[in-house]
Structure 1
Amino acid sequence: MPIDLPFIWAGIIAFAVLAYVILDGFDLGVGILFPLFPEKHDRDQMMNSVAPVWDGNETWLVLGGGGLLAVFPLAYATILPALYAPLILMLLGLIFRGVAFEYRWRTKRAEYLWNWAFAGGSTLAALCQGIALGALVQGIPVADRAYSGGWWDWLTPFSLATGVALVIGYALLGATWLVMKTTGHLAARARHFAFFLAFATVGAMGIFSLWTPWLKPLYLERWFGYPTMIFSVIVPLLVLACLYLIVTGLKRGHDARPFLAALGLFVLGYAGIGISFYPYIVPTSLTIWQAAAPDDSLAFLLVGAVILVPMILGYTAYAYWVFRGKINPEEGYH
């Protein structure tokens, strides 16, 4: 039986994108929440909580984007022209946020500028990721193996609403991360914000669960046709279970449970998107087999992935292990 290399690579890239979303999502969330914590001491702790891991988290973005170019070049060549504007803005946001990590500690007079660079860059990156996702879900027109839409097709009420929803979701990840990693007044305020953000995130998921099926006949069939409609029942129940774990964890003073349950919300949302998309990599236009590179190329690249992905997982896990536990308010990693 021949090995289905496009399917294997679709799984690897899907895993890389999910890893980026759940790992970089919380440190973007910390930046989104930055303006809500005006005290310098709180802001120092917030940045210190993600300083050891934020740049490693973005490895997965490079793997996902680079992998898409190498393995599904037709999808890459179709998606990028459709989403140039939000993706370029996202990268600019990530650049400003990254530079803020380095320069905020080195100036007093212009510290407020780097505070805004950190908060603004994080919010812009999250918003644009959501807009790009919304534009992808609503469909990218393809003709003669090329993007056939206009410059502004990505800008719709659905994509903008998706962008706002992702900002809210990342803020939830950031708040629950701060609950897990900080103490005292900062953790108490983060717990307060997380409670409301949890309901807002689940509410946004509910809105898009009702909106998305009507965008494409494929989605309607997947969500309400047998046997995939089974997931349309199971996933919402699991979402409510995650919400319950977040709320009870926050009320009972648990540190890690709200964060892990918030990650569960993202995994479930991602699974829902995957069920809607498959087997398309560009919804209703290109399947993973149509967009894939030749099998010889996929096999050659798979050898590298088999070596590199475990290495990335290893050093990521080691970094989180070394910097486990709550941060000391009087010390930092900068």
Structure 2
Amino acid sequence: MLPDPTLTLIWAGIIGLAIFVYVVTDGFDLGIGILFPVMAPGAERETAIATIKPVWDANQTWLVLGGGGVFAAFPLAYAILMPAVYAPLIIMLLGLIFRGVAFKFRSRTTRIWLWDFAFFAGSTLAAFCQGVILGAVLQGVKVSGRSYAGGWWDWLSPFSLLTGVSVVAAYALLGSCWLIWRTTGAVQDHAYRMAWRGGAASIAAVGAVSLATPFLNHDYFSHWFEVPGLYYSAPVPILVAVTSVFFVRALRRRAEVAPFFLAQALFLLTFIGLGISIFPWAVPGQVTIWQAATVANAQSFMLVGVGLLLPVILGYTGYAYWLFRGKVEAEGYV
């Protein structure tokens, strides 16, 4: 039995949604870890931790859904891509583990400086490796038959390092904007200053990656600069520029909520740009989503399960954010 073309598109959309939601939710709590060294020990760090304590576990659910969805819905893509990015993937998982352990242990030890460093290092490593994995996939992998044919270090390149640094900068921006929204006083004032720096670095990174990506692969170039792809791609850089202007204006007038959602809008636009570049490839230049997809009856069976679970995940995540929606100080919610 062959894959169903419509169900294949639906599954690509579900996985894309899961990855995007993970990036814009777990991104801001990883961003707070990245910013930890420039926060003052004591009240400022405790306040930052208190803002993410109720939601950070739920944010990582989307990573499981995205990764598990690729494994189940596009097994050929999973089998080819995983060996290509084993090294950064393992480092990312170790970073997430260290981040989680540090999050729990820092309040139960006299060596808080050690676990604060582990929280920073784990968050930064995880973010950097996520960017490296993205860059490694975008630049393409060697395939022979139905298997990965490249070497252990093929993922490492100037482009993958650029995307790694870009994700770190972007997550730091999300973290600072989250603190603007959820804190007051001196912590919020510092968050505004961090958001200015993070915004400048993120916008520069988006520009650098956007300029480099079309020249990695002729398909990318044609999707961006040749008809009919040009019709879809042309609005994206314009909208990025407009969103950047609104973001700067929001910071200047010291808006509290707008910077966070405008930063997320920048992520959404870069995500759309990524989709324009790679569609319809599951393994860029090698395997399309229809070639990589599992059989139709498996697609249908899994879709029923996701249809039942997705509202539950959205429900408890939304309830957690609503319940802990207030401003936060070191002592807790106010």
With the shorter chain as reference, the TM-score category is over 0.9
- Mapping of residues 1-334 of structure 1, within 5 Å: 4-108=6-110, 110-331=111-332
**Cα displacement (A) at 1:3:** 6.4
**Cα displacement (A) at 1:263:** 0.3
Q: Distance in 2 between matches of 1:181 and 1:332?
A: 9
**Cα displacement (A) at 1:213:** 0.6
Q: Distance in 2 between matches of 1:225 and 1:329?
A: 53
The 8 Å contact of residues 20 and 61 in structure 1, kept in 2 or not, is answered as yes
Q: Which range moved further: 266-275 or 244-253?
A: 244-253
SS across alignment from 1:149: coil
**Cα displacement (A) at 1:236:** 1.1
The 8 Å contact of residues 50 and 329 in structure 2, kept in 1 or not, is answered as no
**Cα displacement (A) at 1:288:** 0.7
The 8 Å contact of residues 5 and 290 in structure 2, kept in 1 or not, is answered as no
The 8 Å contact of residues 31 and 172 in structure 2, kept in 1 or not, is answered as yes
**Cα displacement (A) at 1:200:** 1.5
Q: Distance in 2 between matches of 1:32 and 1:241?
A: 27
**Cα displacement (A) at 1:332:** 6.2
- TM-score of the superposed pair, with normalisation by structure 2: 0.97
**Cα displacement (A) at 1:331:** 2.3
The 8 Å contact of residues 175 and 190 in structure 1, kept in 2 or not, is answered as yes
Structure 2 alignment gaps of length 5 or more:
none
The 8 Å contact of residues 53 and 320 in structure 1, kept in 2 or not, is answered as yes
Q: Which range moved further: 177-186 or 238-247?
A: 238-247
The 8 Å contact of residues 180 and 256 in structure 2, kept in 1 or not, is answered as yes
Q: In the alignment, residue 17 of structure 2 is paired with which amino acid?
A: F
Q: Distance in 2 between matches of 1:247 and 1:27?
A: 22
RMSD: 1.3
**Cα displacement (A) at 1:71:** 1.0
SS across alignment from 1:281: strand
| Deviation string, structure 1 residues 258-309 (Cα, Å, up to 9, x no partner) | 0000000111001100011111111111111111111111111010011111
Q: Distance in 2 between matches of 1:128 and 1:3?
A: 32
Q: Distance in 2 between matches of 1:227 and 1:181?
A: 43
Q: In the alignment, residue 246 of structure 2 is paired with which amino acid?
A: L
| Deviation string, structure 1 residues 46-87 (Cα, Å, up to 9, x no partner) | 111111101100000000111111111111111100000000
**Cα displacement (A) at 1:100:** 1.1
Q: In the alignment, residue 171 of structure 2 is paired with which amino acid?
A: Y
Q: Distance in 1 between matches of 2:194 and 2:49?
A: 18
Q: Distance in 1 between matches of 2:332 and 2:211?
A: 47
SS across alignment from 1:4: helix
Relative to structure 1, is the Cα distance of residues 203 and 126 closer, same or farther in structure 2, using a 3 angstrom cutoff? same
Relative to structure 1, is the Cα distance of residues 3 and 310 closer, same or farther in structure 2, using a 3 angstrom cutoff? farther
The 8 Å contact of residues 233 and 276 in structure 2, kept in 1 or not, is answered as no
**Cα displacement (A) at 1:220:** 0.5
The 8 Å contact of residues 199 and 243 in structure 1, kept in 2 or not, is answered as no
The 8 Å contact of residues 173 and 195 in structure 2, kept in 1 or not, is answered as yes
Q: Distance in 1 between matches of 2:332 and 2:298?
A: 49
**Cα displacement (A) at 1:39:** 2.5
SS across alignment from 2:328: coil
Q: In the alignment, residue 43 of structure 2 is paired with which amino acid?
A: H
Structure 1 alignment gaps of length 5 or more:
none
The 8 Å contact of residues 141 and 148 in structure 1, kept in 2 or not, is answered as yes
SS across alignment from 2:234: helix
SS across alignment from 1:31: helix
The 8 Å contact of residues 45 and 332 in structure 1, kept in 2 or not, is answered as no
- TM-score of the superposed pair, with normalisation by structure 1: 0.97
Q: Which runs of 4+ in 1 moved over 2 A?
A: 230-233, 328-333
Q: Distance in 1 between matches of 2:39 and 2:82?
A: 36
**Cα displacement (A) at 1:241:** 1.8
